[in-house]
Structure 1
Amino acid sequence: MPAIVSVTSDQLNLWLLAFLWPFVRMLALISTAPLFSERAVPRSAKVGLAALLAIVVSPTLGAMPAVPLMSVGGLWIMVQQVLIGAAIGFSMRLVFAMVQAAGEYVGLQMGLSFASFFDPTSGGNTMVLARLLNVIAILLFLAVDGHLMLIMVLVQSFQVLPVSDAPLAAGGWFLLASAGGHVISDGLMLALPLIAILLTLNLAMGILNRVSPQFSIFAVGFPITLLAGMAMLQLLMQYLGPFLEPRFAATFTSILEFLGALRS
């Protein structure tokens, strides 16, 4: 006679919590992290990937807090997981925002500020050059297995900051906010060689226009600036990988530091 397997409601609740809370953190990261959050990726694929990761990772996380799901404490834990997952994805997106900022700086100096189109990722108009650099950064991210490292950091986040009903410390959010300051500085550092060359070229053409007033600066200046910018951009491409790889690694390390600072 076959044995009858009985499952109580408490066991079902524990199994549901063991899956749901990690799933919420993973889904929040996939919805905000670069590459995973692209609108070209179907929503069903995002939800399916988060569910698959939760099924694989949940058995290794140990016991979850004994808090009912349909309660104030359960809602608070779910909100925390959303904030943690979104913060991890936002931290990784800062690197790509830096590359996009560099494209904006260079495009403005090259006279390409009018060359923009609607970017579904950002939800607004983006310069073509900024979008190009962003696509190259995503390809480099894939080439160095950054997407796999991001998933690894997500799994490690449950050891650094386990699921609990304890409040999150304010020091961690301060670290995340301070990391946003590197977007402008690093983006300017990446674009600085091109900006310096283009400013020097504009200064030379301005002096030439003063020396020779019949020289049509508006007719000749734009093609020269555009060609010089394209030539310098081609030279910059070979240094883009060595510039971004250390920043990818530093971002993964800073994410773990940020999660550690969130522990109260």
Structure 2
Amino acid sequence: MRIDISLLPALAASFMLVFARIGAMVMLLPGFGEVNIPVRIRLGIALMLTMILLPLHRAAYTVDMNSMAPLMVMMVHEIIIGVVLGATARVTLSALQVAGSVIAQQLGLGFVTSIDPTQGQQGALIGNFLTILGLTLLFATDMHHLVIAALNDSYNVFAPGQLLPSGDVASLFTRAFTTAFKIGIQLAAPFIVFGLVFNLGLGILARLMPQMQVYFVGVPLSILGGFMILAVIIATMMGTFMDYFGGVLHELAPG
């Protein structure tokens, strides 16, 4: 019996091209690409997704094994596509960090920081809490399945071997950044109103009672009132964010 292995080099090249797109995306995805997740686990997730998606899109890759230059160009192309998809999802999650930073400033907790597990650097404590809560809800509601769907549908939007539409990519990034900032401010809007009204009231009180230590009275009341508002509206806040995140993923996966 004779086994034909002539297709193995082309199959291996296609596997590496698919892995380049998926691996670049997984390294940036919220929940999968965090710095505190071991690299081996992230690599295992990327390899598993590659083995799942390779049979579906193997025919989309036309690999010329006689020259390395086209293969390397396609490799860079696939990495860029993966970075675009992963970075879009990562920027979308940053809306919670924006909201948390604004809330912390309004409550007088802007100086209270801790390590943000999603970025590996210092961040506002409330922002870190909202980010972790958002990640938990993403997995609890199975919305991470939309991420895999977006990765699968990316082959319809960004076909292998075709020139990357730089205008569409720039528009996607610009829209992602502006929308994340807008949603972050909208989520923190009740606290902005609270901070404005509360500080205005403290200013009037300071003028009416100059002998009163307004700072020592105002800071504890500001923190207490802010946490009471957070407890009341946090469900609505996270629901709004989940709708926003789902909309972004549906835009990435129009199919």
Shared fold (TM-score, shorter chain, > 0.5)? yes
Q: Tell me which interval the TM-score lies in, with the shorter structure as reference length.
A: over 0.9
Residues in 2 aligned to 1:133 and 1:16: alpha-carbon distance in whole angstroms: 42
Residues in 2 aligned to 1:69 and 1:142: alpha-carbon distance in whole angstroms: 44
Residues in 2 aligned to 1:135 and 1:120: alpha-carbon distance in whole angstroms: 8
Report the equivalent of 2:211: 214
Report the equivalent of 1:239: 236
TM-score (norm 2): 0.93
Residues in 2 aligned to 1:35 and 1:163: alpha-carbon distance in whole angstroms: 27
Report the equivalent of 1:154: 151
Superposition deviation, residue 168 in structure 1: 0.8
The alignment yields a C-alpha RMSD, in angstroms, of 1.8
List per-residue Cα deviations over 1:190-222 (Å, max 9, x = no partner): 100111012101110110000110111111111
For the pair 1:100 / 2:97, whether they are aligned, the reply is yes
Superposition deviation, residue 159 in structure 1: 2.9
TM-score (norm 1): 0.90
Tell me the percent identity.
Answer: 26
Report the equivalent of 1:67: 64
Report the equivalent of 1:56: 52
Report the equivalent of 2:3: 5
Residues in 2 aligned to 1:181 and 1:221: alpha-carbon distance in whole angstroms: 34
Residues in 2 aligned to 1:237 and 1:244: alpha-carbon distance in whole angstroms: 10
Report the equivalent of 2:23: 27
Report the equivalent of 2:179: 182
| Contact kept in structure 1, 2:17 and 2:78, CA below 8 Å | yes
Superposition deviation, residue 70 in structure 1: 6.1
**SS at structure 2 position matched to 1:61:** helix
* CA spacing shift, 1:173–1:161, aligned 2, 3 Å: closer
Structure 1 residues 109-124: aligned runs within 5 Å: 109-124=106-121
Q: Which amino acid aligns with 2:4?
A: S
List per-residue Cα deviations over 1:161-208 (Å, max 9, x = no partner): 2221x3211221222232211122111111001110121011101100
Alignment: residue pair count: 253
* Runs of 4+ with deviation above 3 angstroms: none
| Contact kept in structure 1, 2:30 and 2:118, CA below 8 Å | no
Residues in 2 aligned to 1:206 and 1:147: alpha-carbon distance in whole angstroms: 47
